[in-house]
């Protein structure tokens, strides 16, 4: 019998393992890299002084009083994180069917943004959601008429909400409501009010996902929504082509950047959006994704740091220009040590 090994010659001619053999080579050949500049840190603000309220379904995440939000943003500045997204845990007595607190220039989010901007100025960007669910007694993102979330009346409220947030110092308005035509209406409202330089990051492809539960706990809207759902305005989780239509509309209406939400279960959407439009594209690693990884790590089933970095790098590989993630601070610290 011939010696098979000796007769193989140079087979195989292409050996992809050559470039993987050494650390220096792996680093040289790496196609995608995660940096601190890719991170947006979501924060939750609540009423009260010196407040830190743990969120049981979001391990390591807290609701913070305004002074603690200012401190957290200061830490983000020191770590080089380029932007934070601040979400309000509105007190229950401020929530109403008509969501009037959303357009109160002295509401919780506006006071928090003013405090952050007074302390940190333009050293970091501040992103604010435009949607009514933090202020609604029914938990929906818009105004409800006869059991249905109405579009145009909601959009009119969103425009007023965007203006009070811009007045407070918000740098990026992020409409997360998924009403039709809201990006164009908000852009016009901002421009007429003189806020021509305020950016719009549209939640362009936001799905009616089951991964949002811990976030709703954090802002206190889970109990308000109850057994209700948001499927009449958020996207069907089965749809992909429709996401491209939504993104195209938001770009045509003046969005400066677009977002896909949730993140990892929708990396195919991130890729399609980036390939189709080439615009700044962001993804939100939502609360359910974060909570699952943390829970598995707490039980010793996964290495927290490794899956954290791997999951975020997956967003970059899919085409995301940046990621909203509750891992932002921890990731920034790790990257600074690399």
- The catalytic residue among 95, 261, 274, 316 is 261
Whether residue 66 is preceded by a cis peptide bond, meaning omega within 30 degrees of 0, is: no
CB 141, CB 149: distance < 8 Å: yes
Here the tokens at position 263 are 């993140």
Decide if 333 is catalytic.
no
Q: What gap in Å lies between CA 275 and CA 258, rounded to an integer?
A: 13
The DSSP annotation for 43-65 comes to EEE-SSSS-EEE-TTSTT-EEE-
Cα–Cα distance measured from residue 324 to residue 174, given in angstroms and rounded to the nearest whole number: 12
Q: Are 97 and 144 in contact (CB under 8 A)?
A: yes
In order of 45, 209, 327, the CA distances from 294 in angstroms are 22, 19, 10
Q: Is the dihedral of CA 289, 291, 295, 297 positive or negative?
A: positive
Q: Is 98 annotated as a binding residue?
A: no
Residues 6+ apart with CB under 8 A from 220: 89, 90, 92, 134
Taking alpha carbons only, the member of 126, 118, 141, 140 closest to residue 43 is 126
User: Is residue 230 annotated as part of the catalytic site, yes or no?
Assistant: no
**Exactly one of 94, 117, 206, 230 is catalytic; which is it?**
206
For the chain, the 3-state helix, strand and coil shares in percent, each to the nearest 5, are 45, 15, 35
Residues 6+ apart with CB under 8 A from 3: none
Measured CA to CA, the distance from residue 200 to residue 40 in angstroms comes to 15
Q: How far is CA 332 from CA 41, 75, 76, 119, 308, in A?
A: 10, 10, 9, 21, 11
- Provide the annotated binding site: 246
Q: Could you tell me which residues are annotated as the binding site for Mg(2+)? A: 246
Cite the active site residues. Answer: 206, 261
């Amino acid at each position: 019998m011939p010696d098979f090994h000796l007769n193989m010659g140079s087979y195989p001619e292409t050996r992809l393992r050559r470039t993987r053999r050494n650390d220096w080579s792996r680093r040289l050949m790496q196609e995608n890299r995660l940096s601190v500049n890719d991170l947006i840190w979501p924060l939750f603000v609540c009423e009260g002084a010196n407040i830190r309220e743990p969120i049981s379904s979001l391990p390591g995440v807290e609701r913070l009083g305004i002074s603690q939000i200012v401190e957290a943003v200061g830490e983000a500045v020191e770590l080089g994180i380029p932007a934070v997204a601040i979400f309000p845990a509105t007190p229950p007595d401020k929530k109403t069917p008509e969501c009037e607190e959303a357009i109160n220039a002295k509401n919780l989010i506006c006071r928090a943004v003013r405090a952050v901007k007074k302390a940190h100025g333009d050293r970091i960007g501040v992103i604010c959601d435009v949607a009514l669910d933090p202020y609604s007694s029914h938990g929906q993102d818009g105004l409800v008429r006869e059991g249905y979330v109405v579009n145009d009346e909601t959009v009119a409220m969103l425009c007023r909400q965007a203006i009070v947030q811009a007045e407070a110092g918000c740098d990026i308005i992020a409409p997360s409501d998924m009403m039709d035509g809201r990006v164009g209406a908000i852009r016009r409202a901002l421009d007429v009010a003189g806020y021509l330089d305020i950016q719009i990051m549209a939640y362009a492809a936001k799905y009616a996902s089951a991964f949002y539960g811990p976030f709703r706990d954090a802002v206190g809207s889970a109990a308000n929504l109850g057994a209700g759902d948001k499927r009449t305005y958020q996207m069907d989780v089965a749809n992909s082509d429709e996401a491209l239509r939504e993104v195209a509309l938001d770009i045509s209406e003046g969005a400066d950047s677009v977002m896909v939400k949730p993140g990892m279960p929708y990396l195919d959407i991130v890729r399609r959006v980036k390939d189709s439009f080439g615009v700044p594209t962001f993804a939100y690693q939502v609360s359910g994704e974060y909570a699952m990884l943390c829970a598995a790590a707490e039980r010793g089933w996964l290495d927290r740091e490794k899956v954290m970095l791997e999951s975020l790098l997956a967003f970059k590989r899919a085409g995301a220009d940046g990621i909203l993630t509750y891992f932002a601070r921890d990731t920034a610290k790790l990257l600074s040590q690399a």
